[in-house]
Amino acid sequence: MSNLIALLASGLAVGAIAALAAVGFLLIYKATGVVNFAQGDLITLGAYIAIWLTQKDGAFGIGALGLVPGYIVTILIMFLIGVGLERVAYAPLRGRSIHVIVITTLGAALVLRAFIGLWQGTTPRYLDSPVRGDVLKIAGANISYQRVLVIIVSAIVVVATILLFQFTQFGRQLRATAADRDTAKLCGVPVNWLSMLAFGLSAALAGLAGILLGPLGSIDLTLGFNFMILGFAAAVLGGFGSIGGVVVGGLAIGLVQYVFGGYVLRDYNAIFPFVLMILVIALRPQGLFARGSALRRL
């Protein structure tokens, strides 16, 4: 029983990070129709910026910020980086083939990774956390508080994002743009601003994912890439439609990898999220929670 609880906690925590990555994908997809493959490296960048701000001499040698202020500043910086990314990797290509833009986001990912390598090196690093080393004991299972924190913070952020989508002007405009960009533009929706905001928010979410993920292990240049792949699978499972759908997709991915994979073919559990994705696409091409084909949307 204790083993099952420990695996459930792991599955939920990994699923929560995958869901954050998937929501980041979805935001940009809705605003621009583009799948941003730099999302994974933005997660990595967020973790490294948090290290830079909170450790040793801190940024520019001005001294380390406290952990929570450092995290907040990281998320703000990531928002600005997202806006910058939109300006250099999306805005100049608006109107070009979607394939060109997707390849450009891949190029941006490689540039980001090389930049981080030059800036911070390649030695694995550690991001501290206010709950480092603390463990919650439930029915004989030891669950690190960091995992609990990941689940709680992700849940709050997802709910906030759903509220943002449903009950704000930004959300309504975003949904209108997703439905028909040209008509939305004719109706006065500032689609260019929307795409900048979407890139900014998506990068901020990636930064948050990096901050939550970092203290669970160690940080190197490949940290975010794996979660981008999981996030992409989550978004496909959810049908690239509703936030709720991609969140369920993310959780399904975490649970199938760690709970199912904890008992069956446990040495190869990394394949299960993708087996699930292939099965869902085969049986329900539009994804679990969307109308129309997820594949066609991509």
Q: Would you tell me which residues interact with other proteins (CB under 8 A)?
A: 2-3, 6-7, 9-10, 13-14, 113-114, 117-118, 121-126, 133, 135, 142-144, 213, 216-218, 220-223, 226-227, 258, 261-262, 266-267, 269-270
Contacts of 119 (CB under 8 A, 6+ apart): 48
- For residues 36, 40, 44 and 47, what is the CA-based torsion angle, rounded to 10 degrees? 80
Residue closer to other proteins (CB basis): 92 or 124: 124
Residue closer to other proteins (CB basis): 134 or 180: 134
| Min separation Cβ 53 and other proteins, Å | 15
| Min separation Cβ 128 and other proteins, Å | 9
| Min separation Cβ 157 and other proteins, Å | 19
Residue closer to other proteins (CB basis): 101 or 277: 277
| Min separation Cβ 81 and other proteins, Å | 19
Residue closer to other proteins (CB basis): 226 or 242: 226
Residue closer to other proteins (CB basis): 9 or 198: 9
* CA dihedral for 23, 28, 33, 34, sign (positive or negative): negative
Region label for 153, one of left (φ > 0), alpha (ψ between -120 and 50) or beta (otherwise): alpha
Instruction: Yes or no: say if 248 and 295 are a contact pair by the CB < 8 Å rule.
Output: no
| Min separation Cβ 34 and other proteins, Å | 25
Residue closer to other proteins (CB basis): 231 or 245: 231
d(CA 49, CA 240): 29
Instruction: Yes or no: say if 166 and 30 are a contact pair by the CB < 8 Å rule.
Output: no
Residue closer to other proteins (CB basis): 3 or 183: 3
HEC string of 223-250 equals: HHHHHHHHHHHHHHHHCCCCHHHHHHHH
| Min separation Cβ 294 and other proteins, Å | 25
Residue 65 phi/psi, 5-degree rounding, is -80, 160
| Min separation Cβ 11 and other proteins, Å | 9
Residue closer to other proteins (CB basis): 143 or 194: 143
Tokens describing residue 298: 């991509």
E strand residue ranges, the chain: 135-138, 141-144
CA distances for 161 relative to 23, 205, 229, 245, 255, angstroms: 9, 10, 21, 13, 23
Q: Which SS3 state, helix, strand or coil, does residue 20 take?
A: helix
CA distances for 287 relative to 74, 93, 244, 292, angstroms: 33, 29, 12, 8
| Min separation Cβ 258 and other proteins, Å | 6
